[in-house]
Structure 1
């Protein structure tokens, strides 16, 4: 029996007409947004509870941003051509001592297989020191969560790209303004 014949055999045999009805997500039917649904169904934890937990799960932590760790940078650099992350590689040039400003590294794109591609600061990666009344921790926020905090894409904070790109250890004012604020 073909799939069509099997389907027809499952239809009611009475004279009633069938209507095609589009399904709606439960959130729309109940008047609850996905965001509200997330906050309603996701457990809340303190930093101490999070530290004691031995299982991977989603949770909401209300905490205050105490500081931003700039040692590892606050954004990823990507290749403007392929949008993939670029890596720093040491320069092969010998240091003759004449040019003190010469960079000791260059960038390499693994996908395009080229050195020093045009760069684009693509995504946030914020290393935050956070605390609540139960303890402190370090959180790593990638682009989507950082964007919700800042309401600005990463490229707006880094500015236009030129050959002189600001180092990722330079923290813009918009990021500095997060310090001392409480979020969940």
Structure 2
């Protein structure tokens, strides 16, 4: 027989006189709220369905002295609930391969027979060794119905890149992330409508070849330039010209300007983080960090405090004007 039934130590077998439906696919998808309530028996495998919204990075780790592929991602239901998922080996490779080759549309994943794992009070669902079965955007009733109930503004499109400017942030808890206006990177970059939305993304790289600080105007915070006296045609010390204020200033402020590349499951783009964002993350002003670099003869090196931001995940709130690809992310920054 081409098929096998796997029994685990917790498998129970009993006589059943009821007629078994002759359905090729039979799912009993559990709601995310029920799962998060942690009332389900961890020994019982579950079916879940949701849209892939979190990072989808394939990693190789060592388990029991042997290499092992692992993939962490997040699934979102049609409401605001999100669960963390872990996939191992072939399951991880299959999902990662699909996401990388996918060109547009929402990615809906139906996972059949997943294990429940609760560690330190946090719930995740994980693929079983041989029991789990995955359906990624398959043409089946459950996935089609799920897509029909999804809000149109969370459907993703195509992958591309652009430059975004981050201006302001406030740390919040995951319970307060407004998912009703959440978008992917690709959807934002292909939109020409005025919008304010949230983007969940991971800082995957910092542009270390670009200056991480600049001298800014104490008034408008824009970059200042050495003042060139038009009469003497010489640069005057302790004077700077500010194009923003259209004036000459005699004092400046050292400010952050950190270029970073971010990604989600649909594409990549670039952010520029300024004072408010970086100070909140590393708890040092640009002046203090620069002084520290000089003190330890590391003035030409990229600060380790900033390099520590790589791999961290955030929710950015983006304000995008109509018919423009110049966006201003603001007001929300959450580190998972």
Aligned counterparts of 2:292 and 2:283: Cα–Cα separation in 1: 18
Q: Aligned match of 1:87 in 204, 224, 233?
A: 224
Q: Which has the higher strand share?
A: 2
Match of 1:77 in 2: 215
CA distance in 1, matches of 2:279, 2:194: 23
The residue matched to 1:159 in structure 2 has which SS? helix
Q: Distance in 1 between matches of 2:248 and 2:293?
A: 21
**What secondary structure sits across from 1:58 in the alignment?**
strand
2:182 to 28, 36, 44: 44
Taking structure 1 as reference, are residues 161 and 178 closer, same or farther at Cα in structure 2, changes over 3 Å only? closer
Contact in 1 for aligned 2:241/2:248 (Cα 8 Å): yes
CA distance in structure 1 between the aligned counterparts of 2:239 and 2:262, rounded to whole angstroms: 32
TM-score by length of 2: 0.31
8 Å Cα contact 1:84-1:109 kept in structure 2: no
The verdict on how the C-alpha distance between 1:156 and 1:48 changes in structure 2, with shifts beyond 3 A counting, is same
Q: Distance in 2 between matches of 1:78 and 1:47?
A: 30
1:138 aligns with 2:276: no
The structure-2 alpha-carbon separation of the partners of 1:46 and 1:83, relative to structure 1 and needing over 3 Å to count, comes to closer
**Deviation, structure 1 residue 59:** 2.0
Query: Over aligned residues, Cα RMSD in angstroms?
Result: 4.0
Gaps of 5+ in 1: 1-33, 94-105
| Structure with greater contact order relative to length (CA < 8 Å, sep ≥ 6) | 1
Is this contact kept in 2: 1:42–1:58, CA < 8 A?
no
> What secondary structure sits across from 1:54 in the alignment?
coil
Q: Give the number of equivalent residue pairs.
A: 132
In structure 1, the residue matched to 2:204 is: 66
In the other structure, the counterpart of 2:248 is 113
Residue 173 of structure 1 is aligned with which of 304, 320, 325?
A: 304
Is 1:152 paired with 2:279?
no
Distance 2:239 2:293 in 1: 14
Partners of 1:86 and 1:108 within 8 A in 2:
no
Q: In 1, Cα distance between the equivalents of 2:198 and 2:172?
A: 12
The TM-score normalised by the length of structure 1 is: 0.52
Q: Specify which structure has the higher proportion of helix.
A: 1
Partners of 1:42 and 1:159 lie apart in 2 by 43
Q: Deviations over 1:135-156 (max 9, x none)?
A: 1111122222233333332222
Gap change, CA 1:107 and 1:41, over 3 Å in 2: farther
User: Following TM superposition, where does structure 1 have runs of at least 4 consecutive aligned residues deviating by more than 6 angstroms?
Assistant: 90-93
Please list the CA deviations of residues 90-124 of structure 1 after superposition, one character each: whole Å capped at 9, or x if unmatched. Answer: 9978xxxxxxxxxxxx973447737xx66541x22
Tell me the equivalent position of 1:55.
Answer: 193
Structure 2 unpaired stretches of 5+? 1-170, 316-336
Q: For residue 70 of structure 1, report the CA deviation from its aligned partner.
A: 3.8
Map of 1:182 onto structure 2: 313
